[in-house]
């Protein structure tokens, strides 16, 4: 049996071949019922696009380089998963090169490696100042997409700044006015944006961020910061004592470590202090107590960056239906009103 073509798929689905082509290019402005018909026809006919032949005819490569940092963390891993899936759906292969975004030599080596290959474009997911500066200093002849500084649709508000504001608005709504914030590494743009968004939203209603600390995104750093907060008397068993009544954390992994440190010290969450994270990692709902957090759609973020890059590679406009999903509160058991 010969391989199915888009014309076979169109006939099976009862749609035009142009609709099938738009679907395969990642166009999202297709009615759900039409999309379902095309997906069903593709599966039934076991359609496989002949990407190699198409790119050979065009005299182009279908490989995209992706520089990745902190792949073991939930957020970056989910962003990369969304990016590679979107690339695959559009007939592109993603070459992932890992690096340490805080080490300039590591970033240079990763750039040397990926730029020595034949690639159609480059995605930078590492959000550190070092990585961004290294990219800016290089003369790169292929299109580059950056997974940082992303703005919400129709606004000048950053995605991560809004996530910080969502966390602050939740704690403020519960009655917390003296709070702490545990941030990720200072050199990460996402860290600063989340902290700035949190601080601005807290102060807007007369609250105060009394304590800040920088971690490294890991649960271990959250645990050590938790111990320091307890030792300094910022958080106490029984609450009160002039300490903070809530702690917001820049990601869920550090929040999990913080919860462990508070449990070790006999401090009740949320009885003595509320704790909330950011990212809505898969493990967050299984913590004791389950972790209130802010959900970001990392998969769609990665897909948006890659689909926009491929549109530039192919010399066409980015699908206007593509957009960032607004961060949202996920309410669980680790936050409550402060003790009166």
C-alpha to C-alpha distance for 28 and 35, rounded to whole angstroms: 9
* Residue 1, pLDDT score: 43
Whole-Å CA distances, 52 to 64, 84, 171, 186: 14, 17, 52, 43
Q: Angle at the Cα of 91 (from 296 to 1), degrees rounded to 5?
A: 130
Q: How far apart are CA 223 and CA 215, in angstroms?
A: 10
Mean pLDDT of the 201-218 span: 95
Q: Is 255 left (phi over 0), alpha (psi -120 to 50) or beta?
A: alpha
Give tens-digit pLDDT for 271-282.
999 999 999 999
Residue 241 CA to its chain's centroid (Å): 37
Say which CATH class 6-49 falls into.
Answer: mainly alpha
Does residue 334 surpass a pLDDT of 90? yes
pLDDT of residue 53: 47
Query: Which pTM was predicted?
Result: 0.78
**Separation CA 47–CA 19 (nearest Å):** 15
pLDDT of 52 above 50: no
The average confidence (pLDDT) of the chain is: 88
| Domains 6-49 and 159-297 are alike in CATH topology | no
Residues 7 and 38 sit within 8 Å (Cβ to Cβ)? no
Tokens of 230: 């307890």
Stretch 86-107: mean pLDDT, rounded? 89
Mean pLDDT calculated for residue range 178-189: 94
| Fold of domain 159-297 | Rossmann fold (3.40.50)
For the chain, domain boundaries: 6-49, 159-297
Query: Which whole number is the average pLDDT over 316-337?
Result: 87
């Amino acid at each position: 049996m010969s391989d199915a073509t888009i014309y076979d798929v169109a006939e099976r689905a009862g749609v035009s071949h142009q609709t099938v082509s738009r679907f395969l290019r990642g166009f999202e402005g297709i009615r759900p019922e039409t999309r379902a018909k095309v997906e069903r026809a593709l599966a039934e006919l076991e359609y496989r696009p002949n990407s190699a032949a198409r790119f050979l005819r065009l005299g182009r490569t279908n490989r995209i380089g992706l520089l990745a940092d902190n792949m073991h963390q939930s957020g970056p891993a989910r962003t990369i998963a969304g990016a590679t899936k979107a690339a695959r759906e559009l007939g592109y292969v993603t070459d992932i090169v890992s690096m340490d975004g805080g080490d300039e030599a590591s970033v240079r080596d990763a750039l040397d490696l990926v730029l020595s290959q034949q690639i159609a474009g480059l995605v930078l997911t590492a959000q550190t100042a070092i990585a961004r500066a290294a990219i800016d200093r290089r003369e790169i002849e292929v299109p580059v997409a950056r997974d940082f500084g992303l703005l919400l649709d129709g606004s000048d508000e950053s995605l991560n700044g809004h996530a910080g504001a969502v966390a602050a608005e939740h704690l403020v709504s519960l009655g917390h006015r003296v709070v702490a914030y545990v941030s990720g590494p200072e050199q990460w743009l996402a860290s600063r944006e989340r902290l700035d968004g949190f601080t601005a939203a807290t102060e807007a209603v007369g609250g105060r961020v009394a304590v800040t600390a920088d971690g490294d995104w890991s649960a271990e750093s959250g645990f050590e910061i938790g111990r320091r907060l307890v030792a300094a008397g910022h958080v106490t068993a029984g609450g009160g004592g002039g300490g903070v009544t809530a702690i917001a954390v820049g990601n869920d992994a550090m929040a999990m470590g913080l919860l462990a440190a508070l449990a070790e010290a006999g401090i009740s969450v949320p009885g003595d202090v509320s704790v909330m994270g950011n990212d809505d990692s898969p493990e967050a709902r299984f913590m004791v107590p389950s972790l209130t957090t802010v959900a970001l759609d990392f998969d769609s973020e990665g897909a948006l960056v890659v689909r926009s890059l491929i549109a530039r590679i192919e010399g066409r406009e980015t699908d206007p239906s593509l957009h960032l999903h607004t961060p949202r509160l996920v309410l669980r058991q680790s936050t409550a009103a402060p003790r009166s």
